[in-house]
Amino acid sequence: MNQILMMLWQYLHDVTIILYYCKILPNVIFVDPKPILDIFSHLIAITYVDHDKLHLIADPPPSAGERSSLIDFGLFKENFLTIIGKEIFNKDFQPSHMITLLKHLHIIAKVENRKEGDYFFPCALPSYDKLNPAPAEIQPLLIAWEIKNSGTTNLAIPQGLFPLTIVHLLEREDVDFSPVGKDYYRYNDAMSLRIYKEYTIDIINCYTHIEIRFYDCKDFCPRICKLVTDAIKKSSKDLNVNDNHIFAFKCSMDEQCYCIVKEDKSSTRCTQCRSHCKVLEGDDDSYKCWFSNLQLLNPGAETSEGPPAKRHRMQPTGLLDTGNLIDVLDVLDDHEYSGVEYYDLGLRLGLHSRTLNVIKEDNKGNVRSCLRECLAAWLEQRDSVMRR
């Protein structure tokens, strides 16, 4: 009977009559989305409501430090939900359940070792008022959806795509916040992120497109392109929109024009110019650096675990090594492998139970870390891997 009820509830969820997330909250059914929306609205309202009005949305009002953490850094702790949701939470629906739901929907991201808070909510941040000059050595890469209407071509992005993309990026272990300072962004529509602990990228919501800026090594551009587009693909799926995004550059001849990258990644077409700018066909690698090393991302080609300085070549035998760990993880992410069954995967790869038990014990409750260590042991050819 329970199985039949769960199937019924799932059907009602699919047709949007109720909200039911059986994988994470099997005992909670939302017949009205208002409680969830109230939490969102209160979290955002706290960032702009006058101090003497805070008691209307929070009981007791948050401290100055808690409010500053949310406004300046987008960070809050779980007990913050308690003061803004007293009328919502009860013994059956606790703040911890709400945190689980928000993480599942990729609305917030869990962060580590931050005194300002444990969870990041990008929508609570203010908008940027001024951008730093864009780099010239590496032209900013634009990602958008192409909209054709009455003979004209415009660019657009789905509403809500940007914060989802930022959260998906921060859920990766090789992505973190950048330092705080005037050279970095932390806004609801512009974010600076640290990649592989060494490089920083700026991701900017220009509302017609998402702009990626990078100021360092050109050899690393293709990898950044894949990193961000993978997050955009996941965000598109969350929003239930087609993932038919395009790449483009701003046209140097006409500020109303865009140079859209063709599928071959080696030529472009302009949306306005009569004579198409051939930005990917000349000697100027400030454009084509984004796509010049795409072979690095293909199976059987040279791959990297991190920045170019740490790149590993495959062994002459064609076998993978630990330098390919991040690439293996990327492939599994592309195929939406959760890693929950890492133990069985390890056995099939030739790892012994004692090895997997040690991994399980050393990474209690962290499936991602268990999967990573399992794959690392496989790449190190431990146990009976070479007999498989």
Mean pLDDT of 69-76: 93
Please, which pLDDT band fits residue 319 given cuts at 50, 70 and 90? low
Say yes or no to pLDDT of 298 above 60. no
Best CA proximity match to 163, nearest among 171, 155, 173: 171
Cα 281 from Cα 191, distance rounded (Å): 31
Say yes or no to pLDDT of 388 above 90. no
Best CA proximity match to 224, nearest among 241, 202, 239, 240: 202
* Contact status, residue 57 vs residue 46, Cβ threshold 8 Å: yes
Best CA proximity match to 153, nearest among 263, 259, 262: 259
Say yes or no to pLDDT of 1 above 70. no
Cα 206 from Cα 208, distance rounded (Å): 6
pLDDT at 212: 97
Mean pLDDT of 113-138: 91
Instruction: Give residue-wise pLDDT tens across range 15-37.
Output: 888 888 888 888 888 888 888 88
Cα 370 from Cα 378, distance rounded (Å): 12
Say yes or no to pLDDT of 52 above 90. no
Cα 285 from Cα 137, distance rounded (Å): 8
Phi-psi region of 148 (alpha: psi -120 to 50; beta: other; left: phi over 0): beta
Please, which pLDDT band fits residue 364 given cuts at 50, 70 and 90? confident
- Give percent of the chain above pLDDT 90: 42
Better-predicted residue by pLDDT, 295 or 81: 81
pLDDT, mean over the chain: 86
Say yes or no to pLDDT of 315 above 80. no
Instruction: Give residue-wise pLDDT tens across range 179-236.
Output: 888 889 999 999 999 998 888 999 999 999 999 999 988 888 998 999 999 999 999 9
Question: What crossing angle do the helices spanning 221-239 and 161-170 adopt, rounded to 10°?
Answer: 120
Instruction: Give residue-wise pLDDT tens across range 140-170.
Output: 999 999 988 877 888 999 999 999 999 999 9
pLDDT at 51: 86
Phi/psi of residue 204, each to 5°? Answer: -125, 130
Please, which pLDDT band fits residue 304 given cuts at 50, 70 and 90? very low
Question: What crossing angle do the helices spanning 367-379 and 353-362 adopt, rounded to 10°?
Answer: 140
Mean pLDDT of 243-249: 92
Say yes or no to pLDDT of 381 above 70. yes
Provide the token pair at 99: 């945190």
Three-state secondary structure string covering the chain:
CHHHHHHHHHHHHHCCCCEECCCCCCCCEECCCHHHHHHHHHHHHCCCCCHHHHHHCCCCCCCHHHHHHHHHHCEECHHHHHHHCCCCCCCCCCHHHHHHHHHHCCCCEECCCCCCCCEECHHHCCCCCCCCCCCCCCCCEEEEEEEEECCEEEEECCCCHHHHHHHHHHCCCCEEECCCCCCCCEECCEEEEEECCCEEEEEEECCCCEEEEECCCHHHHHHHHHHHHHHHHHHHHHHCCCCCCEEEEECCCCCCCEEEECCCCCCEEECCCCCCCCCCCCCCHHHHCCCCCHHHHCCCCCECCCCHHHCECCCCCCCCCHHHHHHHHHHHHHCCCCCCCHHHHHHHHCCCHHHHHHHHHHCCCCHHHHHHHHHHHHHCCCCCHHHC
Better-predicted residue by pLDDT, 94 or 316: 94
pLDDT at 166: 97
pLDDT at 333: 82
Cα 200 from Cα 1, distance rounded (Å): 53
Handedness of CA 306, 309, 314, 319 (dihedral sign): negative
pTM: 0.74
Domain map of the chain by residue range?
Answer: 32-124, 141-295, 313-387
- Cα-trace Rg, the chain: 23
pLDDT at 81: 92
Tokens 């390890």 sit on residue: 346
